[in-house]
Chains A and B, each alone.
Chain A
Amino acid sequence: MSTLELIGLTKRFSGRPVVNDVSLSVADGEFVCILGPSGCGKSTTLRMIGGFEEATQGDVRIDGASVLDLPPNRRPTAMVFQKYTLWPHMRVAENIAFGLGLRGLPRTEIEREVKQSLALVGLSGYDRRYPAQLSGGEQQRVALARALVLKPKLLLLDEPFSNLDALLRVRLREELHAIQRRIQITAVFVTHDQEEALSLADRIAVMNAGRLEQLDTPDQIYARPRTLFVADFIGQMNLLPATLEDGRLRLGRHVLPAPERLPGNMPLTVAVRPEDLAVVAPNRETDPGTLWQARIDQAIDLGHYRKILAFAPGLFVDAQAAGTVRLKIYAPKHFNAREGDPLWLRPDRYLVYPGGMAPIEIRQPLVAADHSASAIVM
């Protein structure tokens, strides 16, 4: 049983809040990713949990007990850092055994634990090597073994894979996921890589400018981002300014059904995922007023699907936006798209953000139109 609670956690550096009133709880065995752009306070939050930064306000509780007064060496946490994590003058086995030695464990037990933890991270037989003889990925695996061998209540990971190349990053991510599931350790993982967060986490905490924007499961974060920041930061999103007019949403020359009970006099933003924009061939049954006319600017082949960037000047009142903002659309690989081709689009599902409030989701009933390219592909 190991839980973590952050209560109103705040850190100010010379008066400037870097982490601002962050509260969240992590359940036993849960894997939570703190995700955000650089400088959002995610690493500082993690360092406050580990004891490397002092909290200005708030509390950090592990299993219900505050650990704020404990220095890092007395907290039941273990951290894997981004780089320069291993001690270069010690062999792999010595690196892992260091913490056990400090705890006064007998030598035979230390040797057994070191062997077990090396096996856990798939590096059996590496015990006599020096860190400089290991690749970046191997070094991070040793760092993970060194953290896990102490059987901490809480595993903290500060962008441990961000210095590795893309392929290795994915492999280590999968290995970490498997290890975490196997030993059921409670873990907090900090990353700026949303793909990493979406694939690893039970829940994701999205941070921006020191604040916690949303704490939710990956699918909810993707499907219903609670703030415009999260909507823009996670995945691809088309964000379009809108106004309320006669109970309908107006986007430039186009209208869309508006949610009920929408507060008036408020800047609205309509958010549409690229996969929710259906490419439609207009026919007699479709109402041409509801379709957005666009012109293909660029079609990018992304392996199993195509990403299309298109101008849709009719959606904007602002002339500059009409000429610069491009809609992002996903289309199947066989979709024939050439630069300059016209395109008709219809948002099947969108979110309406009234001011700074939580979004309202709208699904448009499918019409009997020819969805030539409506397959949702990611």
Chain B
Amino acid sequence: MTTRPIAPKTTNTVWPQRLKDHVLPYLLVAPPILLMTLLIFLPAGQAIVETVWIDGAVTVAEYIKFFQSPILTANLWFTFWITLATVGLLFVIGLPLSLYLRFARGRIAAAVQMLALFPLFVPGVILAYALIRAIGPHGLFDTLLHQIGIDGYVSPYLKPQGILIALVWQEIPFTVLVLTAGLRQVEDTMIESARDVGASDWQTFWRIIFPLIQRALVIVFSLNVIGTFGAFTIPYLLGPAQPMMMGVSMQQTFNNYMDRTGALTQAVLTFAFCAAVGVLYVRTVTRSPEGRP
């Protein structure tokens, strides 16, 4: 058998190839980088500068003012607590739900999956008003309880619980999606092997499944923390007047007190916290899937 000789490279094919290798990638990443620079990095940098460069001198006075204000620090702590409780509840609800969806078969599982993903298609503002009608004072729940003779219902509306319920409901689809995706990467045979050598259900979960879904767990943790910490619509519509979450606090400071620098200071603090969690996220997703060679 004779092989056909490879056609010699002609010079006119070299330039387009070079263009493809060295110019095209930069052209492709240019728009997002440009957008991020113009819309995020520049304003963020400008905001940071504005909070520390006041009257022609570098100062941390705005930050001192923030941490000396009992109302503002209460808001910060409140935001921390709501975030912690929301993310904690999301794990408590989302993990068993995802485990069920990973291992269950049949119609009931399909229905549960549909229900779990439903909030994904409901905008936050609609959810907030729906919740007010459902669990607010004189709402559906209150009326039903009254009908069966139970009075004295305390509505979670305008209380921390209201924010918690709505945020958890809103974030369950994302949590379940990421966790089931992580769980599906754990092969059946790895679980069966564990059962085979004598592991109970709990031991199989704790020693095999849990370590193997760490990546999904960190992704769920970090993105939920960032989303909750910076939430605005739901805390604004369902939360208490005091303390308030950072997003609401910023809006109030900016609109009601016309304190632009004060609002910026709060924004920088919120951004700093979310960026720190963001680093955890980036480090996790760029690591090799199994975390080890």
Contact = CB atoms under 8 A, between A and B. Distances in A.
Given A73-B196, A81-B189, A130 B212 contact: no
Interface in B189-212: 189-190, 192-200, 203, 207-208, 211-212
Nearest to B288: A132
Contact of B292 (A77, A78, A130): A130
B21 interface: no
A102 B203 contact: yes
A146 B200 CA distance: 17
A87 interface: yes
Residue in B193, B197, B198 whose Cβ sees the most chain A Cβ within 10 Å: B197
B55 interface: no
A132 B199 contact: no
Contacts of A74: 198
B198 A150 contact: yes
A132 B291 CA distance: 11
Contacts of A52: 192, 195
A363 B195 CA distance: 53
A79 B193 contact: yes
B137 to A, nearest CB: 50
A73 B199 contact: yes
Interface in A39-81: 50-52, 71-74, 77-79, 81
A293 to B, nearest CB: 36
B123 interface: no
Residue in B195, B196, B199 whose Cβ sees the most chain A Cβ within 10 Å: B196
A147 B196 CA distance: 9
A259 B211 CA distance: 67
Interface string A94-105: 000011001100
A72 B195 contact: yes
A52 B192 CA distance: 8
A361 B196 CA distance: 45
Nearest to B211: A89
Interface in A81-111: 81-89, 98-99, 102-103
Contacts of B211: 89
Contact of B196 (A72, A103, A132): A72
Contacts of A103: 198
B185 to A, nearest CB: 10
Contact of A84 (B189, B194, B291): B189
B196 A78 contact: yes
A85 B189 contact: yes
A87 B199 CA distance: 13
A79 B189 CA distance: 10
A88 B189 CA distance: 12
A146 B193 CA distance: 10
A268 B212 CA distance: 58
B190 A84 contact: yes
A83 B197 contact: no
Interface in B249-293: 290-293
A188 B27 CA distance: 60
Contact of A132 (B193, B195, B203, B290): B290
A133 interface: yes
B193 A88 contact: no
How would you classify the secondary structure of chain B's contact residues: helix, strand, loop or mixed?
helix
A98 B189 contact: no
Contact of B293 (A86, A87, A133): A133
A89 B292 contact: yes
Contact of B195 (A71, A89, A130, A133): A71
Contacts of A98: 194, 197, 199, 207
B189 A83 contact: yes
A82 B188 CA distance: 11
Contacts of B208: 87
B193 A89 contact: no
Contacts of B203: 102
Interface in A309-327: none
Contacts of A71: 195
Contacts of A102: 197-199, 203
Interface in B215-247: none
A82 B198 contact: no
Residue in A77, A98, A130, A146 whose Cβ sees the most chain B Cβ within 10 Å: A98
Interface string A165-209: 000000000000000000000000000000000000000000000
A89 B291 contact: yes
A103 B197 CA distance: 9
Given A87-B190, A88-B290, A130-B292, A77 B198 contact: no
A110 to B, nearest CB: 13
A347 to B, nearest CB: 40
A79 B194 contact: no
Contacts of B193: 79, 81, 85-87, 143, 146
A99 B197 contact: yes
Contacts of A81: 189, 192-193
A72 B192 contact: yes
Interface of A: 50-52, 71-74, 77-79, 81-89, 98-99, 102-103, 130, 132-133, 143, 146-147, 150
Given A84-B187, A86-B193, 19 more contacts: A51-B195, A52-B192, A72-B196, A73-B196, A79-B192, A83-B189, A85-B189, A85-B193, A86-B190, A87-B190, A87-B193, A87-B194, A88-B212, A89-B291, A89-B292, A98-B199, A102-B198, A130-B290, A132-B292
7 contacts: A52-B192, A79-B193, A89-B291, A98-B194, A103-B198, A133-B293, A147-B196
